[in-house]
Chains A and B, each alone.
Chain A
């Protein structure tokens, strides 16, 4: 109907920035992933490797372990965040005295730098001066040593993520719940539906787009978590919390294995895209059904 030129002109600055600062490095990583390149190996410079780096990845036990661990972490923490976030969002829909204060306190972790979150939790959990090991030992007789027991480290990392990100989930779901039309719910209550039925057959379907969006965002960020965990456990004990982001960091940075690390990075990106693409399609489907 109108000239598209104006539209493209408005979009242009965004596209230029994304192309220059976003896609350029991406293509560079793609290029490097086709080479054997470690400045500290016996062969200096880049050696053509074709798809060899990708082939090696499939048999790399440490990489696959790390991938599996990341998946487990992301799935568990996002599930908990979603369940808890939904519960909390529902309590916040209706006004009650003190709601604003509670909500304000509750969103504090949202503004903290991931690296500061990691540092804070480290302060809490270091044996010797952190209160968590001290009180767990004193009250429950639990020997809490994050850097020795793999299970404790894994659970603590999940708890930290839940602490950091549930506020975001809650707020987003709350926004969705607030914007939801009230009539169907009232109608259902008049028709004698019980709470569970209302929740299961009305709230959930109506909230589906928001839920999928939240899952999308949280999953994407959980799969590439680095800062918090690096600060808390540095991936230890052993490799118990060495998620894929940390694994790649170790390969690319201290080990300077640029070629192999780039290949690893791209494969992970590919997995994430596939996963998110599926969610995205689901999102689009839900959108269509509603129209």
Chain B
């Protein structure tokens, strides 16, 4: 596991975005027991900071704030990102500026 240099929380910026969250259906799914090394890659590359590890080492991933860039699919599509789909019709992020 990497000791990350994280000093900012960007949740407030994501909150400025417009989303229609699909509560029923996760459009990205990880394998059951993702390896720490692979998970660390996603912590580094996800621009939405959706892959997290807390002080106790517990890992979380929340697809609700997804920016739909596909970076996790490219980084770990063959390892721990088991499924990457577009959100259901009219769901997901809606860029007003872009």
Q: Do A and B bind each other?
A: no
Binding site for B on A (CB under 8 A): none
Binding site for A on B (CB under 8 A): none
